Amino acid sequence: MKLIVAIIQPHKLEEVKGALEAVNVNLMTVSNVLGQGRQKGYTEVYRGMREAGGLLRKVRLDIAVSEDFVEKTIQAIVKGAHTGETGDGKIFVLDLQECVRIGTGERGPAAIG
């Protein structure tokens, strides 16, 4: 089992969701996050004071998948989120030790899908 964490542009969320649903990945947790990458933040001006380094709005997806879904999920996220410009985001893949479905008590790959 893997936990896939993706940081994407907020406006690409719907496309990523569509791409994931097309490969039958339907379970995910989505959160609003702030961050900066190579493009750095942006500068804001308040009453003439410049404040640099503001963080950019991003969307984070947390998706737990069994091994045979890992590549499909990565491909779907890339397909939905890619524009080719800086700021498209990143995908992290982590080993997932355990998964428990609270409703039934199922564990492991059975609890993931």
Partner 1 sequence: MNAGDTAWVLMSTVLVFVMTPGLAFFYGGLVRRKNVLSILMQCFIIMCAISLQWVLYGYSLAFGPDTGWGIIGGLDWAGLKGVGGAPNGDYAATIPHLVFMIFQAMFAIITPALIIGAFAERVKFSSFLVLTILWATLVYDPLAHWVWSTGGWMRKLGALDFAGGIVVHVSSGISALVMALLLGKRIGYASEPFRPHNLPFTVLGGALLWFGWFGFNAGSALAANELAANAFVTTNTATAAAGFAWALIEWRIHGAPTVLGTVTGAVAGLVAITPACGFVSPLSSIVIGAAASAICYMAIAVVKAKLGYDDSLDAFGVHGVGGAWGTIATGLLAEKAVNPAGADGLFFGGVHQFLVQIALVGVTVLYAAVVTFVLFKVIDALLGMKVDKKSEILGLDLSQQCESAYTVVD
Residues contributing to the site for partner 1 (CB under 8 A): 44-51, 53-54
Tokens of 109: 């790959």
Tokens of 19: 């791409």
Nearer to partner 1, 40 or 72 (CB): 40
Task: Tell me the C-alpha to C-alpha distance, in Å, between residue 51 and each of 8, 37, 48, 68, 89.
Answer: 25, 18, 9, 46, 24
Nearer to partner 1, 51 or 71 (CB): 51
- For the bound state, the minimum distance from the C-beta of residue 101 to partner 1, rounded and expressed in Å, comes to 23
Alpha-carbon span 43 to 53, nearest angstrom? 6
- For the bound state, the minimum distance from the C-beta of residue 100 to partner 1, rounded and expressed in Å, comes to 22
CB neighbour list of residue 24: distance below 8 Å, 6 or more residues apart? none
CB neighbour list of residue 95: distance below 8 Å, 6 or more residues apart? 1, 2, 3
Nearer to partner 1, 52 or 102 (CB): 52
- For the bound state, the minimum distance from the C-beta of residue 45 to partner 1, rounded and expressed in Å, comes to 5
- For the bound state, the minimum distance from the C-beta of residue 51 to partner 1, rounded and expressed in Å, comes to 4
Nearer to partner 1, 32 or 104 (CB): 32
